[in-house]
Structure 1
């Protein structure tokens, strides 16, 4: 099937060409990256202010190492989330939008894992300092389990209950 301008439609349901689909996917990916970048920047800002607090000097060696790992992770995540923009800026005139979207989606998936570790690690460090090491480790494990459930198990459950066209399987049975 062809569109009005002669391009092949790859998604008849949406009436989209490959280029239109890539543009839509890029736009959605940018929105997701904006949210992730904001969260990463907030956590990084929090981490960057810690050395200027009076109690920072009281951290033990493990807490300092965890802190430095979290600072590095926050910086790497910031760069990682900017990588799709750099990729787009470098390649956008080469008509490679589909490839840019595919590569950027992989980067965002990796950044999601990093964001989960950063959030859980930061909360763990705070609990370690305020309550104790056992509480810090418990918070780390609980938050990583919660992230796993919400980001992996829950989407799998939703996907299993839906059909490819987005209609819930049990809704189709009832009609």
Structure 2
């Protein structure tokens, strides 16, 4: 074994994990998060695909059809972006490139979440337009953008980060149970 491999597998993180174990755990967590997000994308995408085959869609205005197409394209982008890290992991998992998969995958997933939020926003706004008119489109679209923006992109930075909430059970031990941190 090369010296780098020995250090990678024997150097311990503050969590007690080796660097390789931590990377493996982080990849697993990323892929699990993507499973949750992908379910929403699949449901939305399926709905968007079926809408064009309804009789009412033929009577939609050019603006409404344009909103629908934009929502479909954002759903396609979200699907591609949110599944890419899983494909990368499958292709590269034996090449020792977990660092790159995590670093780039994290960025791609964040863009994918943005596309998903956009697709949901346009879909809900389009529904509001068809049911209630243009004013409802603007109000509903604005509300949905605000909701996603706050919950997905603002609130996470407002969460406490003073060490009281462990990121992972292995990252710290509960003092109430008499456990101590691993060296």
The normalised TM-score by structure 2 is 0.81
Q: Using a 3 Å threshold, how does the CA distance of structure 1 residues 162 and 85 change in structure 2: closer, same or farther?
A: closer
Displacement of 1:120 after TM fit? Answer: 1.0
Q: Hey, what's the Cα distance between the residues in 2 that align with 1:77 and 1:87? A: 16
Q: Which residue of 2 aligns with 1:173?
A: none
Per-residue deviation, 1:86: 2.0
Cα-to-partner distance string for 1:64-96 (whole Å, 9 max, x where unaligned): 111111111112211212211221122222111
After TM superposition, give the deviation of residue 148 of structure 1 in Å. 1.3
Residue 180 of structure 2 corresponds to none
Secondary structure, aligned partner of 2:10 = coil
Deviates more, 1:39-48 or 1:145-154: 145-154
The equivalences for 1:1-175 within 5 A come to 7-9=10-12, 11-12=13-14, 14-158=15-159, 161-164=160-163, 166=165
User: Compared with structure 1, are the counterparts of its residues 138 and 19 closer, same or farther at alpha carbon in structure 2 (3 Å cutoff)?
Assistant: same
Q: CA offset at residue 165 of structure 1?
A: 5.8
Cα deviation for residue 44 of structure 1 reads 0.5
The answer (yes or no) to whether the contact 2:77–2:112 under 8 Å persists in 1 is no
Structure 1 residue 129, shift from structure 2 partner: 0.8
Q: CA deviation at 1:119?
A: 0.9
Tell me the TM-score normalised to structure 1 length: 0.85
The 8 Å contact of residues 19 and 98 in structure 1, kept in 2 or not, is answered as no
Q: CA deviation at 1:6?
A: 6.2
Task: Output the CA distance in 2 between the equivalents of 1:19 and 1:32.
Answer: 20
The whole-number CA distance in structure 1 between the counterparts of 2:17 and 2:101 is 18
Structure 1 unaligned blocks of 5 or more: 168-175
Asked if the contact 2:75–2:119 (Cα under 8 Å) also holds between the matched residues in 1, the reply is yes
Equivalenced residue count is: 160
CA distance in 2, matches of 1:70, 1:151: 19
Q: Given the superposition, is the C-alpha separation of residues 37 and 141 from structure 1 closer, same or farther in structure 2, using an over 3 Å criterion?
A: same
**Aligned pair in 2 of structure 1 residues 81, 152: CA closer, same or farther (>3 Å)?**
closer
Could you give the per-residue CA deviations for residues 88-130 of structure 1, whole angstroms, max 9, x where no partner exists?
1222221111221121111111111111111111100111111
Comparing 23-32 with 98-107, which one deviates more in the overlay? Answer: 98-107
Q: Point out where structure 2 has 5 or more consecutive residues left out of the alignment.
A: 1-5, 167-183
